[in-house]
Amino acid sequence: MASLEEVTPTVDESLEFDPSLKKKKKKPKAVSFDEAADLDDSAPKNASADPAVDELTDMFANLKKKKKKSTSTASLEPEEGSPAPDTGAEENVEDFDFSTKKKKKKKAAVDVSEFEQQLEEAGVVETNEDDDTFEKDGEEDAEDGEEEEASWLNSDREYTYEELLHRFFKILRTNNPELAGERGQRYKIPPPSVMREGNKKTIFANLKDISDRMHRPYEHVMQFLFAELGTSGSVDGNARLVIKGRFQQKQLENVLRRYIMEYVTCKTCKSISTHLSKENRLYFLVCESCGSRRSVSGIKTGFQAHIGKRKRLPG
């Protein structure tokens, strides 16, 4: 849990930080939501439909590289497919030049640093090269593996565990890739977009979107949010949620993550293609991919302390 300083920073603080630290702020967001999505590994069907989510996945793929710009659309899955070029045309050229040079056993260190400078000027971070080389290595490895496999399949010797494992995963990947735990194909939920209305209210703009993605009625999500946050609120005309009190995106993310843990993911198969059914006052979570059922507790608000001015006692 966050300490008090983290929980309630002042308004001006966040406003001050926003423009300058935008890039920095973006990353933890992405990371944390990745964790949330970790729960729901095997539901690739709704993966990354909207641009924000795409961006997120993008960032996960390139998470290793610290300075990666979010605008560049490098390939999502490094293992398969050829290395995707960057968006900008001139960057593109430079990129490719560079990688070919690398292949040719780079000539001089001076050259490289020059290129790095150019790349940096062009807005491409020098870690791009790592990406390319990494991808190439991966491809080479795969080819090697194929050759090896061909050799050991026909020989009489005992197969090693590694070889069989590779073979298994290769076959699995070709036949049904969704079982092989392909990264980037996972279910993603867009981060909550949170704004402040006035001084005391928070607007949660994409509640509808998020709850649609989770296949839950937004009323249910709303109820959970209010119970957890110990506040109240309402839905305004544009289907946005207005919450009383100051909350930050990170905090709402935490609550949403808990909601997903509790009411969305199937505990058995970790899938999130589930639905809630109500049977004589009890909620059951039924998984649509594995068919398991578990009961979930209803949303209880619990004790609500009286906040605000005390009522004047009679007499």
Partner 1 sequence: MSTSIENLKTFDPFADTGDDDSQPTNYIHIRIQQRNGRKTLTTVQGLPQEYDQKRILRALKKDFACNGTIVKDEELGEVIQLQGDQRVKVMEFLSTQLNILKKNIKIHGF
- Out of 81, 245, 291, 298, the only residue in the binding site for partner 1 (CB under 8 A) is 245
Q: Of 8-16, 89-97, 184-192, 268-276, which part binds partner 1 (CB under 8 A)?
A: 8-16
Q: Read out DSSP for 99-147?
A: HHHHHTT---HHHHHHHHHHHHHTT--TTHHHHHHHHHHHHHHHHHHHH
Tokens read off for 140: 């080479």
Give the Cα separation of 314 and 196 in Å (integer): 38
Give the Cα separation of 80 and 142 in Å (integer): 10
Q: Of 3-11, 78-86, 90-98, 190-198, which part binds partner 1 (CB under 8 A)?
A: 3-11
295 lies in the site for partner 1, by CB under 8 A? no
Residue 166 one-letter amino acid: H
- Out of 307, 310, 312, 314, the only residue in the binding site for partner 1 (CB under 8 A) is 307
Strand ranges for 155-302 from DSSP E: 194-197, 201-204, 233-235, 241-244, 274-279, 282-287, 293-296
Closest C-alpha among 93, 60, 94, 65 to residue 77: 60
305 lies in the site for partner 1, by CB under 8 A? yes
124 lies in the site for partner 1, by CB under 8 A? no
281 lies in the site for partner 1, by CB under 8 A? no
Output the smallest distance, CB 221 to partner 1, in A: 15
Output the smallest distance, CB 103 to partner 1, in A: 50
- What strands, in cross-sheet order, belong to the sheet with 274-279? 274-279, 282-287, 293-296
Q: Are 245 and 229 in contact (CB under 8 A)?
A: yes
247 lies in the site for partner 1, by CB under 8 A? yes
Output the smallest distance, CB 28 to partner 1, in A: 16
Tokens read off for 210: 């998020």
Number of residues that bind partner 1 (CB under 8 A): 26
Q: Read out DSSP for 231-279?
A: --EEE-TTS-EEEES---HHHHHHHHHHHIIIIIS-TTT----EEEEEE
- Out of 172, 242, 255, 286, the only residue in the binding site for partner 1 (CB under 8 A) is 255
1 lies in the site for partner 1, by CB under 8 A? yes
Return the number of other C-beta atoms located less than 10 Å from residue 192's C-beta: 23
Pick 84 or 255: Cβ nearer partner 1: 255
2 lies in the site for partner 1, by CB under 8 A? yes
Q: What would the x/- binding string for partner 1 be over residues 171 to 210, using CB under 8 A?
A: ----------------------------------------
Output the smallest distance, CB 272 to partner 1, in A: 22
CA distances from 11 to 7, 8, 16, 52, 201 (A): 12, 9, 9, 25, 12
279: three-class secondary structure by DSSP: strand
Pick 9 or 291: Cβ nearer partner 1: 9
Tokens read off for 29: 């967001």
4 lies in the site for partner 1, by CB under 8 A? yes
303 lies in the site for partner 1, by CB under 8 A? yes
Give the Cα separation of 306 and 138 in Å (integer): 61
Q: Of 53-61, 108-116, 140-148, 226-234, which part binds partner 1 (CB under 8 A)?
A: 226-234
Output the smallest distance, CB 3 to partner 1, in A: 7
Output the smallest distance, CB 244 to partner 1, in A: 8
8 lies in the site for partner 1, by CB under 8 A? yes
Binding site for partner 1 (CB under 8 A): 1-4, 7-10, 227-231, 245-248, 251-252, 254-255, 302-305, 307
